[in-house]
Structures are given as structure tokens and as C-alpha cells.
């Protein structure tokens, strides 16, 4: 029994509108799905942009012919869009879920649905790149991963007929791929010969360590603990900020640094629910605070609130403006 534990992972989109979602519906071919998954491996998850990649590179990594790669890229149009071309190849923009923003499947945290696959030494993609397994065997491993327990790496009971149906391969191809994966140390059969096949996938996800309860629990942060300046409040991860005057949300180019860009309304679903909830609380708090402030100033009969021409000091208006401006920092 292998004791390989994954050290690093990559994110793979899943669910309605994803490559694997449409592949499971037999709307795209296996080669096209594998080409798209390889580009996903060679991309930045947050931005969806690939590294410089040529068709020759893709063909070498997957073991397919150039003709198959060119046909595969045409088939995944909509998920894969070329945005830049040069002597080093092309940079592609990936669409993780090809559907309307409101139809993007999400997890319990409100993030687009995805799952983690191992990457690095001993992982399926690395073994495919090294020529130790074929791209068909790698795709079979991905399908087994989809139908497994993500916390243990143990697959659900499955027949070769089901696996052939999901992969669009023949039964012999599936059996050969399983043998390849066993020889490469990427899976181990746990079931008996007369039972449905159950496999242990390798590298395995790390076991969850028992959480030790701290002596003094850390105080839970509220929306009032967010960093603020005169116009904005910032999410705790410093990736998003809210303009408290216009309720406009901006996103940073790179995590923790870079320029701020307005986030379009159709992309608001990409903001984690916890951050959106804090922003909504902050907007309600600011509006309520300002309404009470102006009501108090309106009801105040002092010269500062309603300076008359007889008693108002020349600097009273300026003092009031400075007072209100100083309150913005508190908001």
C-alpha cells in the first residue's frame, strides 16, 4: 500500500457549465476535455489566464498529435479564448463556467464550484507530462477523482461499463488505463474481483489534524473591524474595498497590492458571501449613522448648526465642515 500524500493542489472547475460538466453530458470529446484541463493546469486560477503555451507544447505534454490539439481547441471555444499570440505560443483566457453569472454553481461558501487535484511530484499530470501514463489514463484518473471522497481519496463503487460510459472510451481502453494507473502507483484496487470496483487514489489528501481548542478563543471580527479611510472600507483579505458613498465595490489587481478596478454588477457573485455581508452591514450602518447625525444637527438650535447673520462666527461653517469630515474616518 502506498503512503503518498499530496503536497500541493490545483483547482479544477466542476458542475454545470464547466468542461467536466459538459464532458459528462457527452457534449465534448475526451481529447478536447483533456486539452482544456491541461490549459487549466497551466493557468492562474484567480485570473483564468494561461502561461505562454503553443500547440506544439500541448501536443508534447499530452502525447496527442498537432491535428488533435488544433481540433480540441476549436471544440472548447467559449471555455478557451486566445487573447495574445507571439513567438512563444499563445496566452488563453479560460472561462471556468460557461453560463450566465446567476447560473454559476457555488459551494457552501458562495464560491464557484471546484475541487482540488494533486499536483507536483507523483501527481497524474506530472506523470502524463513525463510520458509515464497516457492522456487517456490521466483523464480516467480525473473522472475517478470526481466520483470519490475528496477527504480520503477513496472512490465510490463503480463498474468498468459505467467508467466507459462516462469517459466515452471502450471497455478495453478503460481496463488498459486502470492497469497503467496501477503500475504508475496512482491507484490501488480495494474491492474484491466479484464486486464493483473501489479504488484508493494516490497521492492521497492529507489527513485532517485534530483541532486543539485555544485557551482563549480569538475574538470574532465584525464588519466594524474592517480597515477604513475617508471613502472606503477594505475587506479583511485586502482584495476588495467598498466606497461608502456610492456603494461601489472595487477589486485589486493582485492580492495585497496593485491597482483598484471597479467590479461590474454581473461579477458581484465572485465576491465571497462573507465579504458581501460585511459590506452590506457597513452600508446600512453608515446610512443610519449619517441620518441620525443630520437629524441631530437639524434639531440643534445652536449657532453652529444654524448660524444666523447676527451671531454666527465667521469660521463656524468651516468648523462644522471639518467636524463632519473628521467623522468620515469613523465611518
Residues 170 and 238 in one domain: no
Q: Which residue has the higher pLDDT, 38 or 299?
A: 38
- For the segment 7-45, what is each residue's pLDDT rounded down to a tens digit? 899 999 999 999 999 999 999 999 999 999 999 999 999
In a domain, 209, yes or no: no
Residues 27 and 157 in one domain: yes
Domain containing 99 equals 8-201
Residues 228 and 196 in one domain: no
In a domain, 207, yes or no: no
pLDDT of residue 162: 94
In a domain, 106, yes or no: yes
In a domain, 211, yes or no: no
Q: Where are the alpha helices (DSSP H) in the chain?
A: 19-24, 30-41, 55-62, 66-75, 124-129, 135-146, 160-167, 171-183, 273-299, 316-330
In a domain, 326, yes or no: yes
Q: In the predicted model, is pLDDT for residue 113 greater than 60?
A: yes
Into how many domains does the chain fold?
A: 2
Residues 180 and 82 in one domain: yes
Contact residues for 51 (Cβ-Cβ < 8 A; gap 6+): 42, 43, 91
Residues 237 and 172 in one domain: no
Give 242's strand partners: 233, 249
What is the pTM for the complete model shown?
Answer: 0.65
What is the number of alpha carbons within 13 Å of residue 87 lying toward its C-beta? 0
Burial class (CB in 10 A: 0-12, 13-18, 19+), 253: exposed
Residues 107 and 175 in one domain: yes
In a domain, 208, yes or no: no
- pLDDT over 90 for what percent of the chain? 55
pLDDT of residue 266: 78
Residues 103 and 234 in one domain: no
Residues 168 and 257 in one domain: no
- For the segment 153-211, what is each residue's pLDDT rounded down to a tens digit? 999 999 999 999 999 999 999 999 999 999 999 999 999 988 999 999 999 998 875 45
Mean pLDDT of the chain: 86
Q: In the predicted model, is pLDDT for residue 326 greater than 80?
A: no
pLDDT of residue 3: 67
Please give the DSSP secondary-structure letter assigned to residue 228: E
The residue count of the chain comes to 331
Residues 37 and 165 in one domain: yes
Amino acid at each position: 500500500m502506498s503512503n503518498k500524500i499530496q503536497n500541493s493542489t490545483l483547482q479544477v472547475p466542476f458542475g454545470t457549465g464547466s468542461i467536466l460538466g459538459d464532458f459528462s453530458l457527452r457534449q465534448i470529446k475526451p481529447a478536447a476535455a483533456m486539452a482544456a484541463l491541461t490549459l487549466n493546469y497551466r493557468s492562474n486560477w484567480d485570473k483564468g489566464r494561461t502561461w505562454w503555451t503553443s500547440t506544439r507544447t500541448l501536443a508534447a505534454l499530452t502525447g496527442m498529435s498537432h491535428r488533435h490539439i488544433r481540433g480540441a481547441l476549436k471544440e472548447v471555444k467559449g471555455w478557451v479564448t486566445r487573447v495574445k499570440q507571439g513567438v512563444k505560443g499563445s496566452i488563453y483566457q479560460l472561462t471556468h463556467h460557461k453560463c450566465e453569472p446567476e447560473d454559476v454553481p457555488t459551494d457552501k461558501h458562495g464560491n464557484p464550484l471546484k475541487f482540488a487535484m494533486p499536483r507536483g511530484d507523483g501527481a497524474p499530470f506530472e506523470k502524463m507530462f513525463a510520458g509515464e501514463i497516457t492522456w487517456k489514463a490521466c483523464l480516467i484518473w480525473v473522472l475517478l477523482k470526481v466520483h470519490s471522497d475528496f477527504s480520503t481519496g477513496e472512490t465510490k463503487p463503480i463498474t468498468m461499463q459505467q467508467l466507459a460510459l462516462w469517459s466515452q472510451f471502450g471497455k478495453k481502453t478503460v481496463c488498459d488505463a486502470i492497469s497503467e494507473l496501477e503500475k504508475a502507483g496512482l491507484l490501488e484496487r480495494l474491492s474484491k474481483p466479484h464486486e464493483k470496483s473501489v479504488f484508493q487514489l494516490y497521492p492521497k489528501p492529507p489527513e485532517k489534524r485534530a483541532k486543539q481548542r485555544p485557551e482563549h478563543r480569538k475574538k470574532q471580527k465584525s464588519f466594524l473591524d474592517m480597515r477604513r479611510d475617508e471613502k472606503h472600507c477594505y475587506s479583511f483579505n485586502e482584495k476588495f474595498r467598498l466606497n461608502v458613498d456610492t456603494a461601489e465595490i472595487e477589486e485589486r489587481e493582485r492580492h495585497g497590492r496593485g491597482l483598484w478596478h471597479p467590479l461590474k454588477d454581473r461579477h458581484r457573485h465572485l465576491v465571497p458571501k462573507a465579504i458581501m455581508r460585511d459590506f452590506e452591514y457597513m452600508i446600512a450602518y453608515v446610512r443610519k449613522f449619517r441620518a441620525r447625525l443630520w437629524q441631530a444637527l437639524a434639531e440643534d438650535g445652536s449657532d453652529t448648526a444654524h448660524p444666523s447673520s447676527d451671531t454666527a462666527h465667521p469660521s463656524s461653517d468651516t468648523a462644522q465642515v471639518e467636524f463632519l469630515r473628521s467623522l468620515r474616518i469613523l465611518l
